[in-house]
Every structure is written in structure tokens, then in C-alpha cells.
Amino acid sequence: MELSSATLIDGEEVRPIDHLLLRGDPARPALDGRSGSQNFAELEETLGRLAAWLAGFGLEKGARVASWIAKGPVAALMPLAAPRAGLVHVPVNPLLKHGQVAHILADSGARLLIGSPARLDTLEPDDLPGDCRLLREEDAAAAMSGGDGLPPSEAGPDDLAAILYTSGSTGRPKGVMLSHANLWLGAVSVASYLGLGAQDRTLCVLPFSFDYGQNQLFSTWYAGGCVYPLDYLTARDVMKSVDTRDITTLAGVPPLWVQLTELEWKPEVAGKLKRLTNSGGALTRPLVAKLRSLFPQADLYPMYGLTEAFRSTYLPPALVDSHPDSIGSAIPYAEILVVRPDGSLTDDDEAGELVHCGPLVAQGYWRDEARTAERFKPAPPSSRYGGMAVWSGDTVRRDEQGLLYFVGRDDAMIKSSGNRISPTEIEEAAVAVPGVAEAVALGIKDERLGQAVLLLIRSVEAEAEALVETRLKTELPNFMQPRTIIRLAEFPRTPNGKIDRVALAKEFDR
């Protein structure tokens, strides 16, 4: 098949994202799961059929089509099928409730919503835009089983391919607009620095509505490997799948790693994993040590990312032991600058704002010029790319080797008696105490101080509060000491598996 010519960006041939499966060896497995296995040739044919089914609804180019489904063949192929049909995919986390889904549907102006009957039945008429049509997941699955398919698209690199909604931890969810080039280069970048190959099998445990989760598919397929989507109930389900599916690659967030390290892994099962990747929160030193001990044959990749720019940095495995607190340096196709408020570059070890420049930068927030203008601004003068950049709002510092260290998120900083306190620093000191699995530091109202520090810890140890208090008194200055330490059995989670800090703040800051 004669494909449209590719666009060259930073030396990489960038094609429409729906061309991704054409890179793989047709005879090698591409998708495995409870619905069976398909090789790249079979999956490409299935993709064409799903795209043709979507195109059959006669929507205008660029119309939004949402999916609210569990992981499976339809969920895995929708990010490619919608763009092939000239549509924009809006994945909705299957854990969201109808009110949150209603916001995403209304904000995106979705014309189609594909969902399981059980999920669709939870929606009220007022939850749907007037011209949004509901479609059942099984109808999409049936369409993939036969009939003619659409050929690969001829979309341009800047054409809109997807809108991914943030979790809304700092307000109502925002739709981040991602182009074909954003998605393609994200796949190339991750496949490159992870060293993925055709022999790799990736266990996809993160939601496909999460940019980190969606990239599990794209980077593995770019490298010619196989993906195994999994909706898991417990960490033991993940461990079992690693064993039965011979998984080599696992992407997770800190709460999942905490749960996995609490299991008893047989050496022969743990040895199947060749790489572990982390984003969505920093790994603590104790957790890094546990992961290194449990999975000695696996390379560990700590990463830092922004939905607005996909991913910014990673720390090579060789540096994890010597620099466990670092978020690394720029991934391929990203330019990461640390700047002062006036846009000038900081000196080594001087804290400043992380600014992401280059072709991974998204196109802004969907139909939200005001919030787009707050985050997407002209790149600093020192940028080699210029154009628009993502000003993260996160404070980092750069050492003399060029490695970056997270200092704090501007909107999460605790301001107490004139001091700006990083919750991260308190949390890392707390989880260094044996028996403390996770910690969250919050600023709560205090008439004298403005804010006082409340520390929440997750631990099964009865004396954990006293042990943490003793440790913090030796590790941290007086102004950073928590006024109160509370031990919880569990922390609430967001749909992406992160600790729900907003829920904790609402519960305890009264």
C-alpha cells in the first residue's frame, strides 16, 4: 500500500498515528488478552474495520467521539480508529461516575459515546449533549469482526487526534488537545529510551484515558512488541499476569508499586520483568530500594510528565542508585529549561520553574482560551525551538551534571509563618521510617501561622505516629514539623490510581 509521505521533525519521519501498526512484523503478536491474540496484520485489518464503522455515522471531520469502556480490543484500537476515520478520540476513564462523564461529554461536544450497557444506563438525559448518540461496546466489537476497512489516513502532523482530560485535581477537568505528531513522537521517544523491541510484552494496567497509560500501547507497538491490557482488581492480579503472560515491561504509579512490593514474589516470576517505569508521582528512596531488591533483573525508569506535554524527563537506570531523588533529564524530542520568573535560565542548584519546549507540547486546552493562556506561553528566549511552551508551575533545580530535582508544585506549597514548605520533603522523610508505606503532607488553616502542617501516613504499625514524629524532629527544621500526625488504613485514590490529595484536603482541612 502506498502511504502518504511522512513529515520530518527533528530527524524523525512522523506519520499519522493510525499508521502505527504498519511498522510491526505482520506475523508477530501485537495484542493479547482474554479475547484472544492478534498479530500485527490481523490487528491492522481489525483497526480498518473499526474505523470504517465509525466513519459510517457520517460525522464531519474533527467531530469528537468518546469511549467509556473497560480495557479490551475496542479500547485498545479506538485511539487509532477514530483518527483514521477523521474524528477526534476522547477516552473517558471507566472509573468515572456519570457527573464527571457528563462534564467531559458536554465540554468536548462529543457526537458519539461508545460504552458498556451498564455504564450507559447510569447516564441521565441531561448528562448528554443534545446531538450525542449512544453506542454499545458490543456493536463496535461486532463491527471489527468482518467487512471492509478504511485504509490508513493522510492526516497532517498538526491535525487534532485526541483530547485527553486531566484528572481535575486543581479544578474541573481540562481537555488537552493532542496532535498526530504529539502522539507519534511520544511513542518514538519512549520506545527509544526504554529500549523496547519486538520481543517485549507490555502489561497495560494504567487507564488508556491517562496519557501515560495510552502510551503503553503506542510505544510498544512502535517497537513491534505485544500489549496485554488488564483491568485488575488487586495487585495480586498484576503479579499473576506477569507470570502467565511472560510480561517484560510494566508501567505504574507509586501507589501500585507500594502494593506490589507488599506481595511475595517468586524469583522466577519477578525475573520475567525487564523494565519498570514510574510516573504520576515521585518514588521515595525506601520504595526504590524495595523495587531494586524484588526485581534485581529489571531496569527502573523514574519519569516526570505533564499531560500538556506528555512526558518531560526520565532518569536512566544506571543513575537510580546514585541519584534516587532525581527526575532525570529531558526525554528525546523534549527541551527542558529551568527558568526564573523573568524567563532567564537559572544557575546550577538554583530553584526555578520547569518549562517544556519542543514538538511534544500539546495544542492547548480544548475551547478554553483563558486557561490555555495561563499554561501555554511563548518559550523562553534561550529555547532552541521557540514557539509555544508549557510553563509547568512546578519548581525544580538542576545540578551541575544537568540532572533535575523536583522541589515542589506551586499550588501545593504549604505557606506557614512566612515559610514556603514543600510537602514532598516532609513526605519523603516520613516514608523513610520503616513500616510507613505512604505519606501526604497538607497545609491546614491556622490563625497564628496561616497554615500548619498536617501529616497523614499509611501504616500498619501501631506506633508509627511516634516513630515518624521522632524521625522528623531529627531530619527537618522546626518550621517544617507537623502539628498533627494521623495514621490511616488506606488513602483515597483518583481514577488514575494516584493518591487523591483533594479528597484528603477536603476531609481534614475543616
Q: Are residues 55 and 166 in the same domain?
A: yes
Note the pLDDT tens digit of each residue in 177-220. Answer: 999 999 999 999 999 999 999 999 999 999 999 999 999 999 99
| CATH code at position 324 | 2.30.38.10
Q: Looking at the chain, how many residues does it have?
A: 510
Cα atoms in the Cβ-side hemisphere of radius 13 Å centred on 326:
24
Residue 226, domain member (yes or no):
no
Give the residue from 358, 391, 409 where a domain finishes: 409
Average pLDDT over the chain, rounded to whole?
92
Q: Are residues 286 and 344 in the same domain?
A: yes
Q: Are residues 403 and 418 in the same domain?
A: no
Burial label for 409, CB within 10 Å (0-12, 13-18, 19+), is middle
Residue 269, domain member (yes or no):
no
Q: Which domain holds residue 333?
A: 282-409
Query: What pLDDT is attached to residue 418?
Result: 60
Give the residue from 128, 160, 194 where a domain finishes: 194
Q: Are residues 52 and 149 in the same domain?
A: yes
CA distance 227 to 43: 12
> Would you say 7 and 14 are in contact if contact means Cβ atoms under 8 Å apart?
yes
Note the pLDDT tens digit of each residue in 11-49. Answer: 999 999 999 999 999 999 999 999 899 999 999 999 999
Note the pLDDT tens digit of each residue in 382-408. Answer: 999 999 999 999 999 999 999 999 887
Q: Are residues 322 and 450 in the same domain?
A: no
Q: Are residues 312 and 424 in the same domain?
A: no
Residue 384, domain member (yes or no):
yes
Residue 241 has pLDDT above 80, yes or no: yes
Local structure of residue 345 (DSSP, 8 states): B
Residue 189, domain member (yes or no):
yes
* 337 or 103: which leads in pLDDT: 337
Contact residues for 307 (Cβ-Cβ < 8 A; gap 6+): 164, 166, 176, 211, 362
Note the pLDDT tens digit of each residue in 446-491. Answer: 766 778 999 999 998 889 999 999 999 988 878 789 999 999 999 9
Strands annotated E in 262-351 = 275-278, 299-304, 313-314, 326-330, 335-339
| CATH code at position 433 | 3.30.300.30
CA distance 298 to 251: 12
Residue 228 has pLDDT above 60, yes or no: yes
Residue 215, domain member (yes or no):
no
CB burial readout 391-400, b (16+ within 10 A) else e:
bbebbbbbee
Q: Are residues 335 and 405 in the same domain?
A: yes
Q: Are residues 404 and 464 in the same domain?
A: no
pLDDT tier, 244 (very low <50, low <70, confident <90, very high otherwise): very high
pLDDT tier, 170 (very low <50, low <70, confident <90, very high otherwise): very low
Stretch (H or E) spanning 222: helix 211-222
HEC per residue, 364-378: CECCCHHHHHHHEEE
Residue 202, domain member (yes or no):
no
pLDDT tier, 168 (very low <50, low <70, confident <90, very high otherwise): very low
Domain count along the chain? 3
**What is the residue whose three cell numbers read 488478552?**
33
Residue 422 has pLDDT above 80, yes or no: no
Q: Are residues 335 and 480 in the same domain?
A: no
CA distance 29 to 42: 9
Question: Averaged over 417-436, what is the pLDDT?
Answer: 83
> Would you say 101 and 121 are in contact if contact means Cβ atoms under 8 Å apart?
no
Q: Are residues 11 and 143 in the same domain?
A: yes
Query: What pLDDT is attached to residue 424?
Result: 81
Question: Averaged over 55-65, what is the pLDDT?
Answer: 98
Q: Measuring CA to CA, how many Å separate 114 from each of 128, 143, 175?
A: 13, 13, 18
Question: Averaged over 327-348, what is the pLDDT?
Answer: 97
Residue among 1, 149, 122 at smallest CA distance from 68 = 122
pLDDT tier, 2 (very low <50, low <70, confident <90, very high otherwise): very low
Backbone angles phi, psi at 231, to 5 degrees: -95, 105
Residue 342, domain member (yes or no):
yes
Q: Are residues 362 and 298 in the same domain?
A: yes
Question: Averaged over 110-124, what is the pLDDT?
Answer: 94
> Would you say 150 and 51 are in contact if contact means Cβ atoms under 8 Å apart?
yes
Residue 252, domain member (yes or no):
no
Cell numbers standing for residue 92: 473517558
Give the residue from 409, 426, 444 where a domain finishes: 409
Q: Are residues 190 and 304 in the same domain?
A: no
